[in-house]
Amino acid sequence: MVETNQGPHPRERILDASEALFAEKGYEAVTIREIVKAAGCNVAAVNYYFGQKRNLYLEVFECRWIPRAYKIQESFRENLRKSGRSDVEGIIRAFAMAFLEGPFSEKERIRHSQLMAREIARPSEAFDLIAKKVMRPFVRELVELLRKALPAPVRDHELILILLSIFSQIIYFTFARRPVSLFTGKRYTSEFRENLCDHIVAFSLRGLGMGNGGCS
Amino acid sequence: MVETNQGPHPRERILDASEALFAEKGYEAVTIREIVKAAGCNVAAVNYYFGQKRNLYLEVFECRWIPRAYKIQESFRENLRKSGRSDVEGIIRAFAMAFLEGPFSEKERIRHSQLMAREIARPSEAFDLIAKKVMRPFVRELVELLRKALPAPVRDHELILILLSIFSQIIYFTFARRPVSLFTGKRYTSEFRENLCDHIVAFSLRGLGMGNGGCS
DNA sequence: GTCTATAGCAGGATAGAC
DNA sequence: GTCTATCCTGCTATAGAC
Select from A26, A184, A214 the Cβ nearest to the Cβ of B157.
Answer: A184
User: How many Å apart are B35 CA and D16 C1'?
Assistant: 23
pLDDT at A209: 79
Quick one: DSSP state of residue B52?
A: S
pLDDT tens-digit series, residues B7-60: 689 999 999 999 999 999 999 999 999 999 999 999 999 999 999 999 999 999
| Integer angstrom CA distances of residue B156 from A173, B206, B207 | 18, 19, 16
Q: Does B204 touch chain A (CB under 8 A)?
A: yes
Judge whether residue A213 has pLDDT over 50. no
Residue pair A176/B118 in contact (Cβ under 8 Å)? The answer is no
pLDDT tens, B75-131? 999 999 999 988 999 999 999 999 988 899 989 999 999 999 999 989 999 999 999
pLDDT in the model for residue A210: 75
For residue B216, pLDDT over 70 is answered with no
Which chain D positions have some atom within 7 A of a protein CB?
1-6, 10-16
- pLDDT for the residue B3: 43
d(CA B96, CA B87): 14
Residue pair B100/B193 in contact by the 8 Å Cβ criterion: yes
Please tell me which of the candidates B172, B180, B214 has its beta carbon nearest to residue A209.
B214
Write out chain B residues lying below 8 Å of A182, CB-based.
Answer: 131, 135-136
Task: Tell me what pLDDT residue B211 has.
Answer: 62
C-alpha gyration radius of chain B: 19
Chain B interface includes A199 (CB < 8 A): yes
User: Rounded distance, CA B159 to CA B97, Å?
Assistant: 20
Model pLDDT, residue B2 = 40
Residue A1 has pLDDT above 50, yes or no: no
Would you say domain A1-51 falls under CATH 1.10.10.60?
A: yes
| A214 has a pLDDT exceeding 90 | no
Three-state DSSP state, B171: helix
Instruction: Please report which confidence band the pLDDT of residue B140 belongs to, taking 50, 70 and 90 as the band edges.
Output: very high
Q: Which residues in chain B have their CB less than 8 angstroms from residue A210's CB?
A: 214
SS3 assignment for chain A: CCCCCCCCCHHHHHHHHHHHHHHHHCCCCCCHHHHHHHHCCCHHHHHHHHCCHHHHHHHHHHHHHHHHHHHHHHHHHHHHHHHCCCCHHHHHHHHHHHHHCCCCCHHHHHHHHHHHHHHHHCCCHHHHHHHHHHHHHHHHHHHHHHHHHCCCCCCHHHHHHHHHHHHHHHHHHHHCHHHHHHHHCCCCCHHHHHHHHHHHHHHHHHHCCCCCCCCC
Mean pLDDT of A62-90: 96
Q: Where are the domains of chain B?
A: 1-51, 61-207
Q: Which of B120, B35, B25, B103 is nearest to B68 (CA)?
A: B103
Q: What letter does residue B187 receive in the DSSP assignment?
A: -
Nearest to A193 by CA among A162, A167, A170: A170
Contact of B204 with A214, CB cutoff 8 Å: no
Whether A96 has a pLDDT exceeding 90, the answer reads yes
Strand C reaches within 7 A of the A43 CB: yes
Question: Does position B210 have pLDDT exceeding 90, yes or no?
Answer: no
Q: For all residues of chain A together, what is the average pLDDT?
A: 92
pLDDT band at A212 (very low <50, low <70, confident <90, very high): low
Confidence of residue B175 (pLDDT cuts 50, 70, 90): confident
* Residue range B120-143: mean pLDDT, rounded: 96
B51 CA: nearest nucleotide by C1': D13
Taking CA atoms, B196 is separated from A169, B154, B184, in Å, by: 16, 27, 11
Interface size, chain A vs chain B, as Cβ–Cβ contacts under 8 Å: 153
Q: What's the gap in Å between the CA of B184 and the closest CA on chain A?
A: 6
Of B69 and B100, the one with more pLDDT? B69
Taking the stretch 121-180 of protein chain A, residues with Cβ within 7 Å of any atom in nucleic acid chain C are none
Which of B115, B92, B105 lies closest to B170, judged by CA? B92
Chain A, 42 to 101: residues with Cβ < 8 Å from chain B are none
pLDDT at B214 over 70: no
pLDDT band at B198 (very low <50, low <70, confident <90, very high): very high
Testing the interface with B: which of A120, A183, A196 to mutate, by most B Cβ within 10 A?
A183
Tell me the per-residue pLDDT of A132-169, one tens digit each, with 9 for 90 and over. 999 999 999 999 999 999 988 999 999 999 999 999 99
At B4, the pLDDT band (50, 70, 90 cuts) reads very low
* pLDDT of res. A211: 63
What is the average per-residue pLDDT within A186-193? Answer: 95
> How does the average pLDDT of chain B come out, rounded?
92
Write the single-letter amino acid at B60. V
pLDDT score at B7: 63
A91: CB partners within 8 A, 6+ apart: A80, A142, A145, A146, A149
The CATH number, out of the four listed (1.10.260.40, 1.20.1260.10, 1.10.357.10, 3.40.50.1470), of the domain defined by the range B61-207: 1.10.357.10
Averaged pLDDT for residues B170-184: 94
Residues of B in contact with A196 (CB under 8 A): 161
CA A47 to chain centre: 28
- Tell me the C-alpha distance between A45 and A57, whole Å: 14
